[in-house]
Each structure stands twice: as C-alpha cells, then as structure tokens.
Amino acid sequence: MKKAVSVAETAVRPKGLSNARLKAIGLVCVALSAVDTGFLFRGLPADLNDADLTNLTAAVLLEALSWIALPVYAWLLYSGLTHTASVRHYGLRLLALAVVAEVPYDLVTFGTPWDLSSQNPVFALVVCLVVLWALGLIRERPRGRGLLTVVVVVAGIMWLLYFNIGLRLSYVPTGVILLALCLVFFYLHGKENTMTLVGAAIGALAVAFPAFGFVFIHFRNETTGIRSKKEQYAYYALYPFLLAAVAAAAAVR
C-alpha cells in the first residue's frame, strides 16, 4: 500500500537563492573582512612601505573580495523595505544593530572600542533605508520630484561621507557604493537585464569586486527563506557576535 503524500511534501521549492541564502553569503563575506582586518591588516607595519608585499597583497585582496557582499546587502535592504509591515520598526531594528555592532567593529578594525575614522556599514544600511523611504514618498508627488530626488540622494551621500560610514582602507566609501546599488534596485527592479547590467557596471567602476555579487542577485528567487522570527533575529545577532569573536581572538593571539 502506497504511503499518502501530503501537499507540503509534493510542493516544489522555488529554484534560486532565497533571501536567507543571500544573507548567509553576505555573512561569509563579512567574516572574510573581519578576519582579514583583525589579523592580516593589524599585522602590517604602520608604514605600508615597510610591509611584506605578499602579506599586503593578501590583505587587500581579501578585503576587496568581501565587497562582493555590497550588492547582496543592497538587495536585501530593498527587499526588506518592500515587504516590511512597518518601515519605522525595520529602521529601528537596523539602527539598534548598528549601535550594538559599533564597539566590536572598532575593536576589530582599530583595536580600540571607539574610533571615528570609520563607522560600521550597518549605519550605511540605515541611511540607505531612509533615502529609499523618502524617494518612495517623492514618487507620489505630482510636482518637483526631480529636484527633491536629487536633494535626498545628495543628502544621503553627504551623510555617509561626513561620518565616514562604511569607509574601508581609509579611502574606499563602501557606504556610498551601497547607496548607489540600492538606487539601482529601487528604480530598475522589474527590468532584470538592465538592473543587472547597470548594477554590475557601477560595481566594476567603483572597486570591481561588487560586480561579482550580481551573479548571486541574478539567481535569486525573491522568497524570504526565513522560517521563523527566531531565525530572522539570529541573522541580526550573528553580525556583532562574529565581530566580537574576531576581536577577542585578535586580542589574545
């Protein structure tokens, strides 16, 4: 006698990468950056002219590889904005995560619990969320949309640059790159080929490696893949936990 098969058992999972899998990919890139910063970069001399060329090249290459996560997180932010029941609550969660992560981020990056040379990239996500939310309101206005759009985008860029949000290697403004990619998703979602080409071009012109992140975006399936609230919050908690673990390991090595 054949066993009865439920509808759930016969349901076909959508092909491609869910948001949960994209988050996992992003966390791998974050781990790569944290380990690189906490161990390789902090092992280099203050004057990089005296650094071993092999070690310096490895450190810069690993950091650049971690920037593959930029389009991934830009997409996750845009997707989160379009699906959230409350932009306010979504923004507050991101802001809380940014505040909690700042001390371990500074410990990993600078070896001190407080340094204003660079702020962790979750603050960039908060700025991007505010910009996208404001642009959504502007879309509904009958007049003055062009000027208001420019004002909002420029304000977001200035905020990211002034506070060194997402600044890496002392000169790469990954926060600004993240905002540019968020704008690509905001305006071009629904035009897959154009969105992918424009986003990859921006990534290539910026620092090259973010362009490769669009391979993962192209194979997304636009499902969350999150099975519970606990799993959702676990992804939030993993970022500061990962930074804290690397900071602790770097301190005792």
Which carries the bigger pLDDT value, residue 48 or residue 234? Answer: 234
Q: Give phi and psi for 24, each to the nearest 5.
A: -65, -40
Burial class (CB in 10 A: 0-12, 13-18, 19+), 183: buried
Ranges of H-type helices in the chain: 7-10, 19-35, 53-66, 69-83, 87-110, 121-139, 145-162, 174-188, 192-206, 210-218, 229-252
Residue 45: the pLDDT is 67
Which carries the bigger pLDDT value, residue 229 or residue 195? Answer: 195
What's the rounded mean pLDDT across residues 218-244?
Answer: 89
Which carries the bigger pLDDT value, residue 164 or residue 231? Answer: 164
Asked if residue 48 has pLDDT above 70, the reply is no
**Residues sharing a CB contact under 8 Å with residue 201, sequence separation 6 or more, in sequence order:** 211
The string of pLDDT tens digits covering residues 201-217 is 999 888 788 999 999 99
Residue 162: the pLDDT is 95
Asked if residue 9 has pLDDT above 60, the reply is no
- The answer to whether 248 and 37 have CB atoms below 8 angstroms apart is no
The string of pLDDT tens digits covering residues 178-206 is 999 999 999 999 899 999 999 999 998 88
Output the CA torsion 173→157→179→213 (10° steps).
Answer: -20
Q: Which amino acid is at 206?
A: A
Whole-prediction pTM value? 0.90
Residue 3: the pLDDT is 44
Q: Which residue has the tokens 């035009």?
A: 191
Q: What single DSSP character describes residue 11? A: P
Burial class (CB in 10 A: 0-12, 13-18, 19+), 5: exposed
Asked if residue 52 has pLDDT above 50, the reply is yes
Q: What single DSSP character describes residue 38? A: I
